[in-house]
Structure 1
Amino acid sequence: MKFSEITVEDIKEYCNAYDEDTKNLTIILAASKGYIKSYTGRTVEDLDKYEEIAIASMILCNEMFENRMFSVENDKVNTVVQSILDMHSFNLL
């Protein structure tokens, strides 16, 4: 699956959120895609070349769906997502 092809229905299935309002999942998907584009410094067309970016986006969506309240318990980022995005990031110093 390409990054640009991820739909709200894909996220609904991945998150087991079949009864969830589509509006919330649309916002979560847009936020995930925006985060990935900002983190990597790449365009959607560039990101479509790497299938692992789609799963990183879906993982982020699931994290956002499951953790909808703001709290800080630790400063750790999901290591799978971070390593996938780091492989394709132009923004690393």
Structure 2
Amino acid sequence: MQVSEITPGELAKYAREDETDTEVLSTFTLILSAVKAYIKGYTGLSDEQLDTKEDVSIAVFVLANEMYENRIFTVKDNNVNKVVQSILDMHSINLL
């Protein structure tokens, strides 16, 4: 699955939420946008380049689920999921 093919409904289903609930879909629409921006900033890849890396879609699902489950104002930890970090590090061209 390509990153551009991922929908808010699929993210809701992955999180075991009602993918027909408009409030849930609205939340996942925002989360999907934030996750894509985070991944592009982390890796330095464009949307087109992300679509060539099928394993990045796993990172999208995991990050979106974590963002949904941890909807809090303050940051408790500064930790990134190790699986997500490994996937993104493999494709990172942003070496600063």
Q: Please confirm whether the aligned pair reaches a TM-score higher than 0.5, indicating the same fold.
A: yes
1:14 equivalent in alignment to 2:49: no
| Paired residues for 1:39-54 under 5 Å | 39-54=42-57
Matched position secondary structure for 1:49: coil
**Among candidates 46, 50, 59, match of residue 62 of structure 2:** 59
Structure 1 position 88, deviation (Å): 0.4
* 1:12 CA displacement: 0.9
Moved more, 17-26 or 81-90: 17-26
Q: Which runs of 5+ in 1 are unaligned?
A: none
How many correspondences in the alignment?
A: 93
Of 68-77 and 37-46, deviating more is 68-77
RMSD after superposition:
1.3
Give the aligned partner of residue 26 of structure 1: 29
Overall identity of the aligned pairs, in %? 52
Structure 2, unaligned stretches of length 5 or more?
Answer: none
1:40, distance to aligned residue in structure 2 (A): 0.6
Match of 1:74 in 2: 77
Please tell me the residue identity of whatever aligns with 1:2.
Q
Letter aligned with residue 91 of structure 2: H
* Rounded Cα–Cα distance in structure 2 between residues aligned with 1:16 and 1:92: 36
| 2:90 aligned with 1:87 | yes
Instruction: Find the aligned partners of 1:87 and 1:46 in 2 and give their Cα distance.
Output: 13
Once superposed, which parts of structure 1, at least 4 consecutive aligned residues long, lie more than 6 Å away? none
AA aligned to 2:70 is: N
Shift of 1:20: 6.6
TM (norm. structure 2) is 0.89
